């Protein structure tokens, strides 16, 4: 079972990187900024989860023990980030240009990978029993820093990765941005709760 999961992880990783490379090629043909492309949360979160899944897969396939401290927490954090990607895209961005114009790439990065990441987390729940909800608060550091950085960079360059981060898109300006950002943070806390306690509930029913 573990070997099969590892093989599937490798397939997902390959799919992620092929999708990103393919989209880069398409964007270059359209004359879009490569720098801006890598400032999308979608791209960053997909790269993060790909690196974690690849690392875990290679460990299992080579029968090598994990030497990275807090690996469970790192995997949980990247699972949170890719979940944010999937949900925020589905609710707020389905009709917005987020530079994933290739339909299959868009489907992979915004739907397939987030769903697989949650599935992978749940079916490997025996490895996460040592995590506590209060520890997952640290997982929010990156999304919060991302929001802050995107606002500062957007103010300086005039380019924002997502419409809801652009204060000029609402008559309420930065107040609207703040409200959306707080909602995303609150949602992230809910995802943390789900990731920590859902596997435990499943375990109790086994």
DSSP structure class, residue 96: S
For the entire predicted model, the pTM comes to 0.92
First to last CA, the chain: 17
Q: Are 81 and 45 in contact (CB under 8 A)?
A: yes
Distance CA 98, CA 125 (A): 33
What pLDDT is recorded for position 84? 96
The predicted-structure confidence for 4-50, as pLDDT tens digits, reads as follows: 889 999 999 999 999 999 999 999 999 999 999 999 999 999 999 99
- Cα–Cα distances in Å, from 194 out to 41, 76, 162, 187, 190? 21, 11, 26, 11, 6
Distance CA 24, CA 31 (A): 10
């Amino acid at each position: 079972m573990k070997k099969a999961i590892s093989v599937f992880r490798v397939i997902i990783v390959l799919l992620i990187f092929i999708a990103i490379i393919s989209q880069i090629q398409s964007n270059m043909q359209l004359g879009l900024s490569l720098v801006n492309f890598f400032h999308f949360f979608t791209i960053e979160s997909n790269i993060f989860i790909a690196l974690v899944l690849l690392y875990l897969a290679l460990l299992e396939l080579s029968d090598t023990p994990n030497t990275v401290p807090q690996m469970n927490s790192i995997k949980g954090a990247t699972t949170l980030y890719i979940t944010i990607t999937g949900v925020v895209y589905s609710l707020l961005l389905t009709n917005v240009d987020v530079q994933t114009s290739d339909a299959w790439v868009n489907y992979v990065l915004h739907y397939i990978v987030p769903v697989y990441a949650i599935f992978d987390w749940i079916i490997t729940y025996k490895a996460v029993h040592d995590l506590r909800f209060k520890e997952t608060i640290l997982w929010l550091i990156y999304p919060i820093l991302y929001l802050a950085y995107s606002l500062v960079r957007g103010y300086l360059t005039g380019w924002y990765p997502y419409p809801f981060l652009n204060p000029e898109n609402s008559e309420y300006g930065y107040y609207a941005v703040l409200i959306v950002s707080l909602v995303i943070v609150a949602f992230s806390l809910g995802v943390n709760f789900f990731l920590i306690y859902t596997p435990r509930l499943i375990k109790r029913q086994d």
